Structure 1
């Protein structure tokens, strides 16, 4: 059961009392803050959490607002009778907004780098122009005659009743998004920011996850647009242009892109400051003008210098507020059923068979007719000098790259061109030469990403907190693997605070959460102390006894030679030796590769 912090009760009490003590003018401002906060929550989710910059959020607000206006205003489509069905207007507005978002997402989300924000500006401008050119919707003059919102016989104008409705929507959105981000789907969403390659290798469908975030953000904008139409009772294109999209980003930046509450604080700061500055600056300067924009620009620069995480992050540090939510971790021995395991390979089953693989990069041949095999219950090491082609071979085996010639056979099936996500589903898991963790997430959450494919609950179950059993099993598995590798006492620490050696061990625990039959380890002993290497070697021996095949690249010869069953030596992209460790150590070709010559 989730325990609510006492600050929640204080916040709810303040929100409940405000309309009783505030003037009509400030109630109207609070309504605007709430509507802006809803849309800004989508920006925080898109940009702050998932790392996708969008300037088009205002266009989605406008799309929903115009849909509502078209359905309920008597002067538009003659559907004014629908004014008695506000929930139908909301449903249709959301449906149209999500449909547009889905189509635009199919196009836009395939872009990367600066092309993504430029793409959102393009379709944001297009929708803004569309609003202004449809004569049946009033063109640039807008739709002026929307009826007030009526629910259960109550009329909601722009006063206290609408205030309570708006802020119930804001609080409900925060709770639902928080639930989502603390789930299996939420970990995939958070991995989008700086961890897409890792997430794909763990089985996360990155494009689908991006689409989920995009649609959730559009849905929040849709609710905001519906509320806007009924609150203002007038809809025109002006509030939904690209400049409005930039304003939403400003709100997120000022409040804090990494926090849901930052959306509320940023919206409040922008709305209130804009109102106060519009009154104060003309008096100070002796003339009217858009001076508040200059102040906002300077304010953004100041906040980014002093508080890069935004106002909410600064307040959290000042008052020592907990960041993020509480991981739903069952206590040890709580009786959580273990996750089902895949069928174990048969003894000596051929797990991986690389057959005369060649990979060219222009005139450079990184791998030339490279072959190796790994059986179930075997540890094979690939060694060689820097530049020998080991990393390229790893990429070919793990699906990151595709060979020009030859075949990679995994459990009897040719996998050339198969994606890392597909291979993860079939039992191939890996670590990386350069550690790929999510530094702001806890050790437990990082490990749980490895079990992504072993969970089944989706967006709605996660947001509604109906994924309790599924989530408990995933986190219990992550805890078990962390305890297995010696990190069971570090569950609540952020991954970025661990030493490099511990981070490498965490990567192994994450890979083990996927229940692999083939484990690819890229320099796992780098950065480990002597005792940590001994513990890692003992863990790999246990995995070998369980039938797991291990293929590792390593430069620490003492670690390799005392552990592995066979060694493959590469030089200039080719295999120059293969055999048992003691045989390879005496091979003249290996001595030449490492020492530059052979003693006579």
Structure 2
């Protein structure tokens, strides 16, 4: 993939040096401006799964801020850029805090609402010239030289585009980038790994807005005039089309989509009036039909076809050696690690968990068994904070004291040392096995959330990445998946995906590991290997709470069993004791004679 990339950069650098017609230079400038906005939408919509129709309004904020300050007060366009960034960031932060928690169709409707609001605000403020806008905007000075011509603007626009591309690419191939990629439909898993998903959604919303602001700043000083027309809802929809057509999940898809749609619109506006006459906007109809056909044939965007032709090396490669992350101190064998005290969970009038009581000690494996619908997974979700308790308490040993953890969120609980897998596997299928596992080490990074984003974009996190990827490699080799670390996770068999989840949970450095049906889908030899791994973890002082339906696997592995039926504990004890309990035989193991 590097050779086509270098050829692309060389070709773009040669364009203004060749006798290229000015019209094509102008088109290339618009492609670059559109690509900046589409790049933000790749980050926000394609990767983060958050649909926005209002990005054109942020373009307007950047354009109007610099235009107003440079014409009204004679300030430098560079100061206008700084002011635009500050105003756009503040507006995006406020809007993001309101709209990003929305889900389903409410989120895109919310972005339409604020997009329209800003558009009409531009057109109704007297000091912004209302719908006539602002004229006589000065050129951008660079080292005392004013950039006036289209060829000169071309160099500045595409320099900033390439810098933005590499910054976003660096971000996505990093610890916070893995958290961003986990947002799309996998928020529960991301929270369980310690990711603050609400903050991360707001962060990428602000980043996308800032890229749009940069585009608006360039647009204002290239056109030398601004009015509200280019910042309306229709333009916002076109920006989203560019990201989707190019490949909403791919950074370089933003450039490809911007190029294709800009050239297509230009050709339709030239050709169709000659064929059908100038009465009517036929290009809009044809453009819409072509977009539908394209999306039917290439739902992942055109860039997906390019990737197949030029396969890329894995974006994340684990080093052969790196400093080992500091491990959490293990509890003394036999001390109580987890206490579930009269835990009750009600959904309306349905009692899903009925005054459950049990404990898990350091260095033991406890099995939680029962018929389907007994409430086992609900009990797991109560321990890990995915569900709130109706009554009762759950306490976990942090250091030398037992602390109440019910009422805390998943990301707070995992900080204490509780990690889990899921009954239905939750992973990022188009990301490598290595990166999926590295997501488990999210809380063990060296940078904070804001510092992590900034460091990632300028590759200031290279040492952190080496340490986290090496940890992920260690855990994969530990569970027997080291030979598959660069395979896409979605290509693994179900049993291998379950083992991947265990490796990801181990990356959290837990003292209590919760496994929800880990042996489901495994072959006999794989189950034997899993049992050996869990026995090794127990010997190291790890506590394990496991839900499993394979009785042979459970009986030969666990130290104690807790049996549930209809949300209630009906038996507890060693496997041989539970096996002969009449209540268990009646409820779970086939009944009594």
| TM class by smaller structure | over 0.9
Aligned match of 2:571: 577
Q: CA deviation at 1:596?
A: 5.4
Aligned match of 2:339: 353
Q: CA deviation at 1:460?
A: 1.1
Aligned match of 1:99: 90
Q: CA deviation at 1:328?
A: 3.9
Asked if the contact 1:158–1:232 (Cα under 8 Å) also holds between the matched residues in 2, the reply is no
Give 1:23's match in structure 2, choosing from 21, 24, 28: 21
Secondary structure of residue in 2 paired with 1:337: coil
Aligned match of 1:184: 175
Aligned match of 1:108: 99
Q: CA deviation at 1:320?
A: 3.1
* C-alpha distance in structure 2 between counterparts of 1:264 and 1:468, whole Å: 26
Q: CA deviation at 1:155?
A: 1.9
Asked if the contact 1:355–1:370 (Cα under 8 Å) also holds between the matched residues in 2, the reply is yes
Aligned match of 1:416: 406
Stretch of structure 1 that moved more, 123-132 or 214-223: 214-223
After superposition, the C-alpha distances for 1:171-190 in whole angstroms (9 at most, x for unaligned) are 00011110100000000000
Secondary structure of residue in 1 paired with 2:44: helix
Aligned match of 1:6: 3
Instruction: List aligned pairs for 1:198-213, cutoff 5 A.
Output: 198-213=189-204
Q: CA deviation at 1:485?
A: 0.3
State yes or no: 1:49 paired with 2:39.
no
Q: CA deviation at 1:292?
A: 1.5
5+ residue gaps in structure 1? none
After superposition, the C-alpha distances for 1:336-364 in whole angstroms (9 at most, x for unaligned) are 11011112212212110001111111221
Equivalent residue pairs, number: 584
Asked if the contact 2:434–2:485 (Cα under 8 Å) also holds between the matched residues in 1, the reply is yes
After superposition, the C-alpha distances for 1:87-118 in whole angstroms (9 at most, x for unaligned) are 21111111111110001011011111111110
* C-alpha distance in structure 2 between counterparts of 1:269 and 1:5, whole Å: 22
Instruction: List aligned pairs for 1:224-239, cutoff 5 A.
Output: 224-239=215-230
Asked if the contact 1:28–1:158 (Cα under 8 Å) also holds between the matched residues in 2, the reply is no
After superposition, the C-alpha distances for 1:285-323 in whole angstroms (9 at most, x for unaligned) are 023322111122112111111111111112322x23328
Give 2:417's match in structure 1, choosing from 413, 417, 427: 427
* C-alpha distance in structure 1 between counterparts of 2:316 and 2:388, whole Å: 39
* C-alpha distance in structure 2 between counterparts of 1:365 and 1:521, whole Å: 23
Aligned match of 1:534: 528
Stretch of structure 1 that moved more, 303-312 or 170-179: 303-312
Stretch of structure 1 that moved more, 341-350 or 87-96: 341-350
State yes or no: 1:307 paired with 2:330.
no
Q: CA deviation at 1:139?
A: 0.3
Give 1:396's match in structure 2, choosing from 382, 385, 389: 382
Secondary structure of residue in 1 paired with 2:344: strand
Asked if the contact 1:59–1:128 (Cα under 8 Å) also holds between the matched residues in 2, the reply is yes
Stretch of structure 1 that moved more, 505-514 or 251-260: 251-260
Q: CA deviation at 1:410?
A: 1.1
Aligned match of 2:478: 484
Aligned match of 1:322: 312
* C-alpha distance in structure 1 between counterparts of 2:258 and 2:226, whole Å: 21
Secondary structure of residue in 2 paired with 1:413: strand
State yes or no: 1:40 paired with 2:38.
yes
Secondary structure of residue in 1 paired with 2:558: coil
* C-alpha distance in structure 2 between counterparts of 1:102 and 1:416, whole Å: 31
Aligned match of 1:72: 70
Asked if the contact 2:135–2:225 (Cα under 8 Å) also holds between the matched residues in 1, the reply is yes
Give 1:378's match in structure 2, choosing from 359, 364, 370: 364
Aligned match of 1:258: 249
State yes or no: 1:450 paired with 2:440.
yes
Stretch of structure 1 that moved more, 358-367 or 116-125: 358-367
Asked if the contact 2:429–2:490 (Cα under 8 Å) also holds between the matched residues in 1, the reply is yes
After superposition, the C-alpha distances for 1:475-514 in whole angstroms (9 at most, x for unaligned) are 0000000000000000110110000000000000000000
Aligned match of 1:145: 136
Q: CA deviation at 1:86?
A: 2.4
After superposition, the C-alpha distances for 1:348-401 in whole angstroms (9 at most, x for unaligned) are 121100011111112211111111100110100011111111111111111111
Asked if the contact 1:98–1:218 (Cα under 8 Å) also holds between the matched residues in 2, the reply is yes
State yes or no: 1:507 paired with 2:501.
yes
* C-alpha distance in structure 2 between counterparts of 1:12 and 1:593, whole Å: 68
Asked if the contact 1:253–1:300 (Cα under 8 Å) also holds between the matched residues in 2, the reply is no
Question: What is the TM-score normalised by the length of structure 1?
Answer: 0.96
* C-alpha distance in structure 2 between counterparts of 1:159 and 1:360, whole Å: 66
5+ residue gaps in structure 2? none
Q: CA deviation at 1:595?
A: 4.8
Asked if the contact 1:194–1:438 (Cα under 8 Å) also holds between the matched residues in 2, the reply is no
Give 2:79's match in structure 1, choosing from 85, 88, 91: 88
Asked if the contact 1:183–1:462 (Cα under 8 Å) also holds between the matched residues in 2, the reply is yes
Asked if the contact 1:101–1:214 (Cα under 8 Å) also holds between the matched residues in 2, the reply is yes
Asked if the contact 2:384–2:410 (Cα under 8 Å) also holds between the matched residues in 1, the reply is yes
